[in-house]
Every structure is written in structure tokens, then in C-alpha cells.
Structure 1
Amino acid sequence: MTHQAPAIGCCGPVETDAPIAVTINPEARVNVARSGAPVGTLTPGAWHTISVTVVNDGFVTGPLAVEAEPVRGLELDLTVADLTGAPRQDAGFRVRLDEPTVVDVTLTFRALGALGGLANHSTVNLLLSSLR
């Protein structure tokens, strides 16, 4: 049985197994939150996918981008998700830590879609650790 951990979005908790929940409201504003779902310990040198649940209350279509400032020892594969306008969809990005360490990365989510770029961005901090 999987555990769905709530994250607080723009309009209330989002039930998700993903460590990050993004909510896009009807005005296409983006809110992002950490859920209670664990990221887990990462293996140094290996790529790991971080899941993101997107609740699209605005039925926005177009790209959902994830951005971050460089963090020493951390590689990010921040692919752009294509918002389909569906009320809920899964997305994600990949991370790799070079060596056993703990890093804190600030992620910024931006949605530009049907409403011509009226979307605001939102940020979340993610603590990542890798052990041998």
C-alpha cells in the first residue's frame, strides 16, 4: 500500500506520493510545496528522478519549467514538462550528487501557457543527501 502525503497547494492539501506538489490556480499562478513524501537517500554518481504532482485548477496548457541556481556537487536535469490542461498530471526531474554529501537546492517553477505569461513563479527548497 502506498502512502499519499499531503502538500499544501493554493487551494488546500494535495494528496500525492511525490515529494513536490505544484498547484496552478485559475489565474495560472503557480504554487509549489513539499509534501510529506520522502525523497530518500540518493546513491552518489547515480541519476535519481524526483517526482512532481501537478494539480492544474486553471486547465493551463504549455510548458512548466523548473529552474535552479548551480549547487556544487549537484547535477540537475530540469526537463520542461508539457502541461496538457488535465486537472492532474505527473512530472519530474532528475538529480545526481557527485559524492556522499548533503545539499540544499532552491527550485523555481514557472508556467507559461494559455493565459499569455500571466503566471507567477514559486519556489521550494529541497534537501538532498547521498551516502555510500
Structure 2
Amino acid sequence: MAQGCCDPVDTTAALSVTINPEARVNVARTGSRVASLAAGEWHTIEFPVVNTGFVTGVLVIDGDPVPGIELDLPDHQLTGEPRQEGGFRVRFDAPTIVDITLTFRALGSLGGLAIHSSLHLLLRSHAVPVPLG
């Protein structure tokens, strides 16, 4: 069954991205949460990209710097397919709780007419147990 413009996105991811025919990007939280992440390790946070406008071009993710964490925010090539998978990576230096702000932009076929959408995402990390012995 085809995804409608206003249907909820079928996902277990903590966020989803929708791009409409005018290349406007909307990013939203879903009912899922990101589990606590182990400090010192890279973790991938995946999300679906629902492209109702069959827009092609680059989806860019920007994030404000947050002390104590590293963000790997790759560009995603939009193929025009109705649904693609996206993601970014995060690594914590130490156990903590942070609020990161992510901004999603798609320039696609409309160039500078596209708007962006931002999202606050609360992430937490825990210490990695040290093996005994």
C-alpha cells in the first residue's frame, strides 16, 4: 500500500524525515526512543526518509557542536524513491545526557526555495562494563 502524504510513517526509528513535492523537509519524533548508548563506541541512529515528491538531490544534516560527543552527519543522496533509509552516527566521550539539535535540508530540484526542519533529540550514554580478570 502506498504511503499517503499525511499517514504516519511506519517505523521503529526514533525520528522520521518526510520530503514533500516542494522539497520541504519535515523531521519528527516518533513513538520510539533511542536506547542508552555505550560511551566510547560509535552508534548508528537510523531513520526513514519518506519522499512524497520524488525529489532528487542531497539531504544534508547539520548539528550544533555539543561538548563530549562526536557526530558523524553524512550527506544522503535522494534518489527520488518513495522511501529510503538514512542515518547518522554518534559517539560519547563519557556517560552523560545531551540534547542535540539536528537540522535537515534538501535542496533538490528547487534549489534555494527548499526550507529546512530542525529537531531536538535527547540522547544518553552509559559506562561500558569492565570485564573482570
With the length of structure 1 as denominator, give the TM-score of the two structures. 0.89
State the 1:17 CA deviation: 1.6
Which of 37, 40, 45 pairs up with 2:32?
A: 37
Q: How many residues align?
A: 123
Counterpart position of 2:126: 131
- Spell out structure 1 runs of 4+ moving beyond 2 A: none
State the 1:26 CA deviation: 1.1
SS for the counterpart of 2:38 is: coil
Contact 1:111 1:117 in 2 (8 A): no
Report the Cα distance in structure 1 between the residues aligned to 2:34 and 2:114, rounded to whole angstroms. Answer: 27
Report the Cα distance in structure 2 between the residues aligned to 1:106 and 1:90, rounded to whole angstroms. Answer: 20
CA RMSD in angstroms comes to: 1.1
State the 1:115 CA deviation: 2.0
Structure (1/2) with the larger helix percentage: 2
Counterpart position of 2:100: 105
Report the Cα distance in structure 2 between the residues aligned to 1:117 and 1:57, rounded to whole angstroms. Answer: 19
SS for the counterpart of 1:114 is: helix
With the length of structure 2 as denominator, give the TM-score of the two structures. 0.88
Report the Cα distance in structure 2 between the residues aligned to 1:121 and 1:12, rounded to whole angstroms. Answer: 21
Report the Cα distance in structure 2 between the residues aligned to 1:18 and 1:90, rounded to whole angstroms. Answer: 10
Which of 7, 11, 15 pairs up with 1:12?
A: 7
Report the Cα distance in structure 2 between the residues aligned to 1:117 and 1:108, rounded to whole angstroms. Answer: 16
Q: Percent of counterpart pairs with the same letter?
A: 63
Identify unmatched segments of 5+ residues in structure 2.
Answer: 128-133
